[in-house]
Structure 1
């Protein structure tokens, strides 16, 4: 049973935590660090695009065309470990920004509160995964995102309920991909940004956002289709990431050209993400 003094202690700790969280949310220094996270995500997407472009043009990229392959490419470059560590910390701050947004930002004020919270948490998870992977590579450890997806799916494929869960995850990924395509074509991404005030910068944001979101959406739909297929066939090998989806596409008629186009789209999305470091509403 809680004593009055115990309740006061809990309330004091809770109040202190809330105060610290609110202070972090409103801190300009914290915002600057989080904005650097957009630059790092831009570099990762651009590297994925470069690897995908090479895969489409030559049939062999040399690295995995996914986040682990892109981050690994940076890790092998001179000064790459330092870049990944700094970028990882920045993306962790960006993830925390989206978590705090649920309680103190637009996610809380949104008329569509549930959708705002889901979006904020989804973005927080995405940036947290990228941050963890970047820091992991910076410290000399490495992992394959395709293997991770396969390992995550495997325990679920031994029962009908588990298969249904895997299929549902695939459907969700496809829906997210469709939303990316819609967001690009409709140019709804402009709602996330402050006006640049410069016509040329505005046009650059518009073109890179449009092509980038569509390319990323198509890639996500490919991943979702593979995850769904893994659920239908109870084959964990099918539940892999971007690299496997790209290599499957390579075997299709015109697959090389399509991959090269998606690679260019990812590079443009990387440029768009870097521009968000200055113009994103925080």
Structure 2
């Protein structure tokens, strides 16, 4: 049975695991910008742990954390432990938690499969190919282009949400304690949310192109979004700045794992 205490512990483990993944994604982006490496998405970042010392153990810990984060988000969406409002804004927020929970459940399974069978990651499709595969499936459905367009709209709304959080800085209210969070914590969060907004917006633009041209090949994921930054004027610096932002978001997530105020009041 999922108790309030268990849900809280799972959430904290999840924030730490998410932080590690974003820290790795940011590092790979910086390496791609400055040293000619290859940008990675969340799946690529997780896969990189397989070759690390004690890689299987690290992957198992990350899998447990990501599963915890996914379960917490799904709990937020279904059981509504934080008692969100039942209006449109609250329902949209719960829907976003549902999508986030499913996405992190997939990442948790990826990490667990690599931990149990280190060689099983060799043939896996990267996140970009997964995005194109799903886009192709959507386009094959009735009104497929509209469905892909709806995904694009959702991504752009998510990007705007990230930028709004970066601008307002209200996320620090989630950190517990009588004194306000130090300025550097708020700064890290602002930069991190801003960088995530950039990535979400670029992915949204990819999906707009896929819907407009009815071509799944136009879609892409996080790695494609980061790689596209390098192709712009001043691209290496844009990519490095975004990578730093994503890495800072990872560090902020780790701070959340320790200090986030989590309101858990499961029904029943």
Q: Shared fold (TM-score greater than 0.5)?
A: yes
Q: Does the C-alpha gap of structure 1 residues 80 and 104 become closer, same or farther in structure 2, counting only changes over 3 Å?
A: same
Query: Any conservation in 2 of the 1:25–1:100 contact (CA below 8 Å)?
Result: no
- What is the match of residue 276 of structure 1? 256
Cross-structure match for 1:90: 65
* 1: CA distance, partners of 2:107 / 2:184: 25
Calculate the aligned-residue CA RMSD, in Å: 2.1
| Unpaired stretches in structure 1, ≥5 consecutive residues | 1-19
Equivalent residues of 2:19, 2:253 under 8 A apart:
yes
1:126 aligns with 2:103: yes
CA pair 109-235 structure 1, distance change in 2 beyond 3 A? closer
State the distance in 1 between where 2:203 and 2:95 align. Answer: 21
Displacement after TM superposition at 1:159 (Å):
6.2
Q: Which has the higher contact order (CA 8 A, sep 6+)?
A: 2
Larger Rg: 1
| TM-score (normalised: structure 1) | 0.83
Q: Aligned match of 2:37 in 37, 61, 67?
A: 61
Counterpart secondary structure, 2:177: coil
The C-alpha deviation readout for 1:170-214, integer Å capped at 9, x for no partner, is 1211110111011111112123322374x7x62232011010000
Tell me how far apart the structure 2 counterparts of residues 242 and 163 of structure 1 sit (CA, whole Å). Answer: 21
SS at match of 1:243: helix
The answer to whether the 8 A contact 2:149-2:207 is kept is yes
Which residue of the other structure, out of 244, 261, 270, is the alignment partner of 2:241? 261
State how far apart, in whole Å, the 2-side matches of 1:196 and 1:41 are: 26
Structure 2 unpaired stretches of 5+: 263-268
Q: Secondary structure at the match of 1:240?
A: coil
What secondary structure sits across from 2:79 in the alignment?
helix
In 2, Cα distance between equivalents of 1:25 and 1:280: 18
Q: Does the 8 Å CA contact 2:131/2:219 hold for their aligned counterparts?
A: yes
Query: Does the residue aligned with 2:167 lie in a helix, a strand or coil?
Result: helix
Q: Which residue of 2 aligns with 1:44?
A: 21
Q: Is the 8 A contact 2:16 2:65 kept in 1?
A: no
Corresponding residue number in structure 2 for 1:156: 138
TM-score (norm 2): 0.87
Superposed CA offset, 1:210-267 (max 9, x none): 1000011101101111111112122222211111122222111111111010000011
Shift in Å, 1:70: 0.8
Q: Count matched residues.
A: 254
Contact 1:44 1:270 in 2 (8 A): yes
Shift in Å, 1:278: 1.1
- Alpha-carbon distance between aligned partners in 2 of 1:171 and 1:128, rounded to the nearest angstrom: 23
SS of residue paired to 2:182: helix
Question: C-alpha separation between the residues in 2 aligned to 1:118 and 1:68?
Answer: 23
Q: CA deviation at 1:145?
A: 0.9
Q: Who is 1:15 aligned against? A: none
- 2:156 — aligned with what? 174
